[in-house]
Structure 1
Amino acid sequence: MPEVTAEHYPPGTPCWIDLMAPDQQAALDFYRDLFGWQGEVGPPEFGGYAMCTLNGKPVAGIMKAQPMNEGDPVPPTVWTSYLASADADATQAAITAAGGTVMFPAMDVGTVGRMLVAADPTGAVFGVWQPVDFYGAQVVNEAGALCWNELHTEDLPAARAFYRQALGIESELMEGMTDYFAAKVSGRPVGGLTTLGGQAPPGTPPHWLVYFAVDDTDSTVDALVKRGGNVLVPPFDMVAGRMAVVADPQGAVFAVIKPVPM
């Protein structure tokens, strides 16, 4: 199993994902059945945040979506990608200077780390994680675990400039592509940046899409549908493997892929 240690998450690297869902327990049950995750509602001091594990290793978080203040709308049901930082406060300042918007300012999360949530200038929301006792996902690139994070935006030049200035993420056009860039940290690909394409439902805002590796894309999609999920882009073959874009029963969008063996 591809286990991860702290040194594999240099600043700018996607290091964690979590889901906000109106029905936390239903989400825990769904992803348990689909990916084999284990997780339960957490302690009140952490807002009930559930740490989900795969074979005993943390892979993702699931929390109940709640309004920040009385009268506010419930946040959308989405997966959030977190980018690693050595100093969340400095990153927050860099985000603002680069034209981003801080939505939830840097705050301590117990003794495990410090985090913030922001939006890039094109509107895509992401998190920032400064580790203390917890550095992020401890298994990736394995069936049932995160394997890729991909920005979809209507303004690639603005997004590329922002992530380079705010988080030190370089981007390089992938060979044979016209609108797909590899996001790189210290020369190593850590994600992708692409145009918000025509396959997205009308009105889809810029966003970070999370990919989960699976052993069989078609059977995973069948299982998802049987559990109340929806298929947005049916399984198809592409350069990295066979993938599909789907939504869980509460509307959170994600991709599944059986990667081409490297």
Structure 2
Amino acid sequence: MTKDLEAAKAFYTQLFGWSYVVGDEETYGGYTTAGIDGLPIAGLMENDPDNGFPDVWCTYLRVEDIEATVDQVQAHNGHVYMPPMEVPEQGKMAMIGDPSGLGVGLWQAGGHAGYQKMGEQGTPVWHELHTTKFETATKFYREALDWELEVMSDSDEFRYQTLGAGNEAKAGVMDIAHFKDPKLAGWKVYFAVDDTDQTVADAIAAGGSEVSPAVDSDFGRLAVIADPTGAEFYVLQANG
């Protein structure tokens, strides 16, 4: 979601080499699909400046039956921010939240099956929920969305579970209760890059900013960047 669609398109083209297909205004409200090599990898949508919501990247979780999933969300004390709606010829979408209010999208695929490239330069590589209510969040996703969560770490310093195990993991949930800024809670998207430090420099040159400097982790070198209107995302240069 971006308050300046043209600025966002220019930024991500310069940073990642994205190209765009703009949907019909009457049918899709100008929804813009970003792609690499002709394959969809992300989407951009105008964020009305008057609604008071910050610009943000949103993760969508694929589900087989969106109405049944929303019923499960409500049955397990989750929130429904936007009930299921039909996207003509593409699928169905909804916006929900866990019991603590952290929002995420749901997508039931029709003609659009989601992103078609991952783990390559400029494409999604990971999705992660940062929560101060770790037990509540993991319980919700296990029960409401039938996630099979694997414990990666369970220490006071680093508490983390993944959807699936090892190389088959699809997403992560991290406890940030010990962080000083509770506003850091929410779903985060990571994009793969070949060189994290160069990507940070390129982002600044393109009108973005460095939110958190590049650091080395067990999974590679990562940093947090904001685009020109403040939408934050991670970049990750994988090990090996």
Range of TM-score over shorter length: over 0.9
Counterpart residue identity of residue 164, structure 1: R
Equivalent residues of 1:65, 1:74 under 8 A apart = no
Determine the structure 2 residue equivalent to 1:188.
168
| Aligned ranges 1:52-71 → 2 under 5 Å | 52-66=34-48
Counterpart residue identity of residue 90, structure 1: A
* TM-score after normalising by structure 1: 0.85
In the aligned structure 1, how far is the partner of 2:62 from the partner of 2:102? 17
Instruction: Tell me the CA shift for residue 168 of structure 1.
Output: 1.2
Determine the structure 2 residue equivalent to 1:211.
190
Instruction: Tell me the CA shift for residue 170 of structure 1.
Output: 2.2
SS at the partner of 1:21? Answer: coil
Determine the structure 2 residue equivalent to 1:143.
121
In the aligned structure 2, how far is the partner of 1:98 from the partner of 1:176? 24
In the aligned structure 2, how far is the partner of 1:50 from the partner of 1:168? 31
Counterpart residue identity of residue 92, structure 2: R
Determine the structure 1 residue equivalent to 2:95.
117
SS at the partner of 2:45? Answer: strand
Equivalent residues of 1:123, 1:206 under 8 A apart = no
Unaligned runs of 5+ in 1: 1-19
Determine the structure 2 residue equivalent to 1:129.
107
2:3 to 22, 25, 35: 22
1:47 partnered with 2:25: no
Instruction: Tell me the CA shift for residue 166 of structure 1.
Output: 1.3
Instruction: Tell me the CA shift for residue 205 of structure 1.
Output: 5.0
Determine the structure 1 residue equivalent to 2:227.
248
* TM-score after normalising by structure 2: 0.92
1:83 to 44, 49, 61: 61
Unaligned runs of 5+ in 2: none
In the aligned structure 1, how far is the partner of 2:207 from the partner of 2:58? 21
In the aligned structure 1, how far is the partner of 2:10 from the partner of 2:212? 23
1:234 partnered with 2:216: no
Query: 39-48 or 87-96: which moved more?
Result: 39-48
Higher helix share: 2
Q: Deviations over 1:10-68 (max 9, x none)?
A: xxxxxxxxxx101111111111111010015431120100011111100000010127x
SS at the partner of 1:64? Answer: coil
Counterpart residue identity of residue 90, structure 2: V
Query: 35-44 or 173-182: which moved more?
Result: 173-182
In the aligned structure 1, how far is the partner of 2:61 from the partner of 2:2? 21
Q: Deviations over 1:84-141 (max 9, x none)?
A: 1101100111111111110111000001100101111122110000001111000011
In the aligned structure 1, how far is the partner of 2:227 from the partner of 2:179? 18
Determine the structure 2 residue equivalent to 1:38.
19
Q: CA RMSD in A?
A: 1.9
In the aligned structure 2, how far is the partner of 1:219 from the partner of 1:249? 17
Is the alpha carbon distance of 1:127 and 1:163 closer, same or farther for their aligned partners in structure 2, counting shifts above 3 Å? same
Is the alpha carbon distance of 1:213 and 1:198 closer, same or farther for their aligned partners in structure 2, counting shifts above 3 Å? farther
Is the alpha carbon distance of 1:221 and 1:73 closer, same or farther for their aligned partners in structure 2, counting shifts above 3 Å? same
Counterpart residue identity of residue 63, structure 1: M
In the aligned structure 1, how far is the partner of 2:228 from the partner of 2:127? 21
Instruction: Tell me the CA shift for residue 171 of structure 1.
Output: 1.8
Determine the structure 1 residue equivalent to 2:133.
155
SS at the partner of 1:222? Answer: helix
In the aligned structure 2, how far is the partner of 1:250 from the partner of 1:109? 27
